[in-house]
A and B are shown apart, each in its own frame.
Chain A
Amino acid sequence: MIRFLARRIITLLVALVAISIVIFLLLRVLPGDLALVMAGVNAPASRVEALRTQLGLDEPLGMQYLHWLGSLLHGDLGASQLTGRPVASLVATRAAITFPLIGLGLLVALVVGIPLGCAAVLARSRRVRAVFQTIAVIGGAVPALWAGLVLIVLFAKGSGLLPLFPSQGFPLNAWHNPGAAFMSLILPALTVGLIVGASIMRYTRSALAEQMQSDVIAMAMACGYTRTQAVLHVGLRLALPQLVSVIGLTFAEMITGVMVIENLFALPGIGTGLINDVGHRDLLAVQGELFMLAAFFLVIGLLVDVTHRVLDPRLKG
């Protein structure tokens, strides 16, 4: 376990450095000149020159990178060029919307996906299995944007057929009014949850189906379990490590995956913010945010791997 952990942490550090180099180079080398891009095409040359000095762009590339890396190591992710706010606090404000959204979405996904996945394996009739199969295939093929649109058409206040929930926006005073904030997250969370639920369902089904092939289920049934009990008690426990890995990675992926949904429902979350910063050419903020997100994904990847090992005693040794 310790060797595994050590190896995995070294990998993480190497990957972090690699990602930081990639992000840095993408934002420096490809567009030509960061200062020119940030100042805009029509800016006077003196303004561009001033910006270049201010950003340290007249230094050699290697030095610039080392400076950035140095400030990263001090926990300084940089600041927005437009508002002057530090990136860390920008991301924190946005995370207060994105994380509740993906938490709720994941909850919906698990409540929908795991029972459906189990039922798909337990169903004996060919026809019923075909129905579950159809649900899984179609659920995985629906564009998130469109699912959100359909939910708006059905349930949004103002234009919906059954006006229940606010269609867009997030209360300006954020979580000071928890009820309103919660209500505005329901439609987006449902959209995300149903789509992610379809994928959780597929994973549950295939992980359980794999266990069904093994002797374990037969053994449990020989010991007096019914087929349903064997699948739910023994099969699900054996499939758990795989499922936890998938759920962990899904959770991480949702942070950027809900970007479209945040945009559609006008929620000022991490994804919307990142897109806006890219649009505003606030490239230093983008650089910090991209690195922070990438680091977050890598850490989640590490945690998932470790949890997988803890949950699956067969991997020990």
Chain B
Amino acid sequence: MQLSRSSQPGSGRSRAVWRVVLATMWAHGTGRFALVVMALWTAIALVSLFWTPVPLGLTDGFNVWAAPSLTHIMGTDGTGADMFSWLIAGMGTDLFIVIVTVALTAALGLLVESLMVSRSVALSQGSIVTVDALISIPTMLIALMLAAPLGATVIGVILACGIGYGLNLARVARPAALLAARSAYVESARANGASAVRVFFTHIVPNCMPVMIVQLSLSAGTALLAEAGLTYLGIGVPSGTPSLGRSIATSVSLITVHPTTVIWPGLTATILVVALNLLGDNLRDAIDPLRNPALRQLGHAVQSSDAAPEREA
């Protein structure tokens, strides 16, 4: 405890940690793929906020169901809107959905986790039992429950995914959290007067990090797939808002007209989900000082029981 307090990380050191983490990820083929795709995705999402090849609202009434051409790279849909522009804008919407869902999942997961490892038997047993029971309710059903009153909204998608994945996260991370909660260093921290909140955030959370990062990255990918499914069913992203699900759903109606244009939206979604999953795997390997020797050499992880590097990363 004392060590971590005396070595408050300066911004310079945390930048060094980041550089090592990124370099480690870049050194792996899959990590490099994930980083490149994520960077492109972010760039495209930002650009699509201000500019798309053809304005989204501009429908070319004389050019409906058009085949791919120079003006419309992926052709047009039944209203004459440019499929490529909608796909690009949809990538932006999905990036937003993925980021907010991951944040919600992490917040809910940690909240439930803190109850599960709490020292009050009533709280921990109660939360474990509740999660065990609720875990078998699929996200799709939560989405339907929310869609009945709310209709098709982005918030509905995010809430359904966040709730479902959050419970799952808490359950998956529980063994690691329990192990940390029963460890000698937590006992010593308590003996030194550390509060429950402090123990949770300085000792338990960093120890769950490797499991949580992988789980969160899976949730991110699954959220994107869920968006596609829910939007197709009419209970996801509302019509008129671009999204990958909307693009795939549009391509369903193109199947008899231009079967080849069916490829692009689905392929885009697949690549993004693969990148999200690989990002998680590589991030876990890169920020864990036990797995990444380069991080240990930075001189951080020498403070073994303190999990400072993870907290910064």
Contact = CB atoms under 8 A, between A and B. Distances in A.
- Pick from A142, A253, A260 the residue with the most CB of B within 10 Å: A260
Contact of B249 (A26, A145, A294): A145
Interface in A99-149: 137-138, 140-147, 149
A101 to B, nearest CB: 15
A271 to B, nearest CB: 8
A297 B210 CA distance: 30
Contacts of A219: none
Interface string B118-149: 00000000000110111111101100111111
A271 B138 CA distance: 13
A144 B273 CA distance: 13
Interface in A234-270: 249, 252-253, 255-257, 259-260, 263-264
Interface stretch (B16-24, B60-68, B258-266): B258-266
Given A31-B149, A253-B138, A301-B133, A142 B266 contact: yes
A47 B41 CA distance: 52
Nearest to A255: B138
B108 interface: no
B233 A298 contact: no
B262 A150 contact: yes
Given A153-B255, A301-B135, A140 B141 contact: no
A290 B248 contact: no
Given A150-B262, A153-B262, A159 B252 contact: no
B277 interface: yes
A256 B140 contact: yes
B228 interface: yes
A156 B146 CA distance: 35
Contacts of A174: none
A290 B274 contact: no
A11 B129 contact: yes
Contacts of A12: 133
A84 interface: no
Interface residues of B, number: 46
Interface string A155-193: 000010000000000000000000000000000000000
Interface string B217-254: 00001000100110011110000000001001101100
Given A145-B248, A259-B229, A278-B148, A294 B273 contact: no
Q: Is the interface of B mostly helix, strand, loop or mixed?
A: helix
Contacts of A301: 132-133, 135-136
Given A141-B273, A275-B233, A290 B145 contact: yes
Given A15-B133, A264-B252, A26 B146 contact: yes
Contacts of A140: 221, 273, 277
Given A149-B255, A259-B229, A275-B234, A15 B130 contact: yes
Given A143-B228, A149-B255, A297 B132 contact: no
Contact of B144 (A145, A152, A278): A278
Nearest to B232: A145
B159 to A, nearest CB: 11
B270 interface: yes
A260 B270 contact: no
A244 B221 CA distance: 25
Contact of A145 (B263, B266, B274, B277): B266
A290 B148 contact: yes
Contacts of B228: 143, 145-146
Given A23-B145, A141-B273, 9 more contacts: A14-B129, A22-B145, A140-B277, A253-B138, A256-B141, A260-B233, A275-B144, A275-B235, A290-B141
